[in-house]
Chains A and B, each alone.
Chain A
Amino acid sequence: MIASIEKVQEAFVEQNYIADRALATTIYLAHHLKKPIFLEGEPGVGKTEVAKVLAAATGGNLIRLQCYEGLDVNSALYEWNYTKQILQLRIDEIRGMDKEQIGEDIFSEEFLLKRPLLEAIQTDGAAPPVLLIDEVDRSDSEFEAFLLEILSDFQITIPEIGTISAKHIPYVVLTSNRTREIHEALKRRCLYQWIDYPSVEKEFAIVKTKLPHINEMLAQQLCSMMQVFRQGDFYKKPGVAETLDWGLALIALGKDGLEPALVDETLGCIFKYQDDIERAREADLHKMVDGAKSESETNSVEKVDWRYMRG
């Protein structure tokens, strides 16, 4: 699947994911250089999805580590199963086993609780697993430093067992919503890719792929309208996820074209803050809808090949 950049793009299309050429190049190079990918961008532009699709396309396991404030090594790497160890200890004692044997017994892999990072290193399927380290900006900087270590040599030392090295170097995808700045040292270990809001052509391709039943004209108007909204000054600009939500809602309502009243009623699909909804209402919806409509008529969206667009 990863023989060339084009192959990557094709494989992603098969999985219903529209990857532009820059992203495909990143994945192609990540595979050949065995480097992690660092995806940064606004929420709702499909960063997490990249890892899922990559796993589906390569046939590897998807292992997900969701980061959060206070995430520590014990919940990311491994932990001993203490309860089980204590029980085993009791049984062994009653049996009169000798001390050394007990020690060996309870500190074996059987008593190890594997957390995502260890799992990713130990997986031995046919294809390398995909390790998704999601929203790394939510973890704290100590954890970042630890990640740096793991990602540079893909081996883990457990004092009681020894060093475990990766059988396959996993694909690693890190994502960040930029709630805080990630240390550059970590980012510089990775191939860095900024994922922007899609261009109207790309978004149209996404909508057509994800919502195959959508009316062509509606899809075009929808995408043009989203471009208009994203130019506005909103607290949370709508992402691709919102476009698809909105599209679904409009299909469910049986509509095949945008009207100002309709947009007004369904603003809740697009904006998630009351302030934003009000601001959208304050703006001239009539004008915006008309603008989007004429935009979608003049631009025959389909003819442009989104795969070669920058960004």
Chain B
Amino acid sequence: MNNQQPLFQELTTFCRVLKQMGVNVTTTNQISFCRSVELIDIGQRQDFYDTAKMNLIANESDREIFDTIFDWFWRWPRPDLQELGMEADEEGDMSLDDLLNAEETAVNLDQWTEMEDEQEEGDEDTVAYSAEKVLTQKDFGQFTADEMQRAREVMAKLVPLLATKLSRRKKTSTKGKTIDFRRSWRKNIAYGGEPLRLIRKRQKIKKNKILLLCDVSGSMDYYSTFLIQFIYGMQQALEEVEVAVFSTELTNITGLLRRKGLEEGLREVAEAVPDWSGGTRIGESIVAFNREFGRSFSAYRTVVILISDGWDRGEADVLQKGMEVLHRQAYKLIWLNPLLGSPGYQPICRGIRTALPYVDYFLPAHNLDSLVQLTKVLTPIWSD
């Protein structure tokens, strides 16, 4: 055991590096990994790789980062850990970019989180109702840093209210075809065990699910941050909500948000999504979306919410085909467009004109009021 000590230290360091890179390695995983290593011939690189992978990652989407770190870490000679900033724990997370000298990605979101850090302590209690009222009608795009924080507070209050409105109506009825023996018997104890009254249960109806497809391209920056936050709130309360973002490429961020919480999640999204604030290819992204989430359409009654301003640089017929498939699969398709809030807006840009025939609801999404409106649309869909 003693002469294996260095090896186990290495294994632990490897786990630490993974953790720092955002792979959610638990202590149990680490222990299991170390025990596994004792059982295999570590001279076989392939076996060692497989063993590490199956113990330490729980998502195929983590594989790319795992492979990169694995290849770097278990290489001889390996670059010095200190040089790579491994010791710099207190200076916060280092990004994979630093490590691999990749080019820097534009991260507008960072500025946003910074603003939030800097916000002055301001007495929350004095936020008057009227101030909120003004906020609810103000366009997200015109918010100052201070107002953003307030808007977030309003939203935090709003979301649980809206979410319970959605979920409360799902309760199953007591009429139905099959007899619920467990409850029936319980009920009939009062009659001396004589089965006088039967309780029935109804088959659970197909569950609802919300799939959110959010445009995070440059033109949508201000809005998408808010909207993701809104949907994240719903995800907390409703469970069956999945979120994907796109600008030129589609990325599913459901697991990330769930795992890391909103703030850290969003920060990582900005890192993980290769083209945050890049150009837009709605068509390609919808096709990818159909592929990625296609199977869940048959298992759930799915409401798809697409958030975009419709500025598309991709090809129109790809968009059209994608929308056609999406329209057929989804129970309801809602398009939220922040631009719809600006007075005199006409859906003239090509992306919107192509997509509009396939959309069930075309709604604004530029202020808090419009989010309330969204819930009004969702509630009847949800409960029938």
Chain A residue nearest to B292 (CB atoms) is A178
Asked if A184 meets B294 with Cβ closer than 8 Å, knowing A74-B182, A82-B182, the reply is no
Query: A29 to B58, Cβ gap below 8 A?
Result: no
B28 within 8 A of A: yes
Q: Are B203 and A70 in contact (CB under 8 A)?
A: yes
Partner of B299, one of A32, A74, A138, A310: A138
Chain B residues whose CB sits within 8 angstroms of the CB of A184 once the complex forms: 24, 58-59, 255, 258-259
Residues of A contacting B54 with CB < 8 Å? Answer: 22, 25-26, 29, 191-193
B354 interface contact, C-beta 8 A:
no
Q: Are B60 and A22 in contact (CB under 8 A)?
A: no
Q: Which of B50, B63, B252, B296 contacts A179 (CB 8 A)?
A: B296
- DSSP majority for the B interface? helix
Q: Quick check: is B36 within 8 A (CB to CB) of the other chain?
A: yes
Q: Do residues B325 and A235 form an inter-chain contact, with CB atoms below 8 A?
A: yes
| Docked complex Cα distance between A40 and B53 (Å) | 14
CB-defined contacts of B57 to chain A, threshold 8 Å: 192
Question: CB within 8 A of B40: which of A5, A80, A140, A188?
Answer: A5
Chain B residues, Cβ within 8 Å of A80: 181-182
Question: Judging by beta carbons under 8 Å apart, are B295 and A187 in contact?
Answer: no
Structural contact, B209 and A25, CB atoms closer than 8 A: no
Contact between chains at A140 and B182 (CB < 8 Å): no
Interface bits B251-266 vs A (CB < 8 Å: 1, else 0): 0101100110000000
Whether the pair A33, B36 counts as a contact (CB closer than 8 A) is: yes
- Determine whether the beta carbon of A188 is less than 8 Å from that of B39: no
Give residues of chain A (28-62) contacting chain B, Cβ–Cβ below 8 Å: 28-29, 32-33, 35, 38, 40, 43
Contacts across chains A and B counted by CB atoms under 8 Å: 116
Interface pair B204/A69, CB less than 8 Å apart = yes
Q: Say which residue of B36, B185, B254 sits within 8 Å of A181 (CB atoms).
A: B254
| Inter-chain contact B181/A83, CB cutoff 8 Å | yes
Q: Once the chains are docked, how many angstroms separate the CA of A87 from the CA of B184?
A: 15
The CA of A183 and the CA of B242, in the complex, are separated in Å by: 12
Task: Indicate which residue in B60, B63, B181, B242 contacts A180 across the interface (CB closer than 8 Å).
Answer: B242
- Report whether B204 and A236 are in contact in the complex, using a CB–CB cutoff of 8 Å: no
Decide yes or no whether A285 CB sits under 8 A from chain B: no
Q: How far is the CA of A236 from the CA of B325 in the complex (A)?
A: 13
Please report which residues of chain A, range 1-44, place their CB below 8 angstroms from some CB of chain B when the two chains form the complex: 5, 21-22, 25-26, 28-29, 32-33, 35, 38, 40, 43
What's the Cα separation between A40 and B61 when bound, in Å?
Answer: 12
How many of chain A's residues have a CB under 8 angstroms from any CB in B? Answer: 48
Instruction: Check B207 for interface membership: any CB of A closer than 8 A.
Output: yes
Residues from chain A with Cβ under 8 Å of B36 in the complex: 29, 32-33
B51 at the interface (CB under 8 A from A): yes
B287 contacts the other chain (CB 8 A): yes
Are B55 and A191 neighbours in the complex by a CB distance under 8 Å?
A: yes
Chain B hits for A180, CB < 8 A: 209, 240, 242, 296, 299-300
* Residue on B nearest A233 in the bound complex, by CB: B287
* In the complex, residue of chain A having the shortest beta-carbon distance to the beta carbon of B293: A179
A22 in contact with B50 given A43-B295, A70-B204 (CB within 8 Å): yes
Closest chain-B Cβ to A178's Cβ sits at a distance in Å of 7
Q: Decide: A69 near B299, CB < 8 A? Known: A29-B51, A181-B242, A184-B259.
A: yes
Contact B32 A35 (CB under 8 A): yes
Contacts of A74 in B (CB 8 A): 182
B259 adjacent to A189 (CB under 8 Å): no
- A interface, CB within 8 angstroms of B: 5, 21-22, 25-26, 28-29, 32-33, 35, 38, 40, 43, 69-70, 74, 79-80, 82-83, 85-86, 89, 137-138, 140-141, 177-181, 183-184, 187-194, 233, 235-236, 275, 308, 310
**Extra 16 A-B pairs, beta carbons < 8 Å, given A83-B181, A184-B258, A188-B29:** A5-B47, A21-B47, A33-B32, A35-B32, A40-B60, A80-B181, A80-B182, A82-B185, A85-B185, A86-B195, A179-B300, A180-B299, A184-B59, A188-B28, A191-B54, A308-B46
A-B contacts, 12 of them at CB < 8 A, read A21-B47, A26-B54, A29-B39, A29-B51, A82-B182, A180-B240, A184-B258, A188-B29, A190-B58, A192-B59, A236-B294, A308-B46
The 3 closest A-B pairs by CB, nearest first: A187-B58, A82-B181, A70-B204
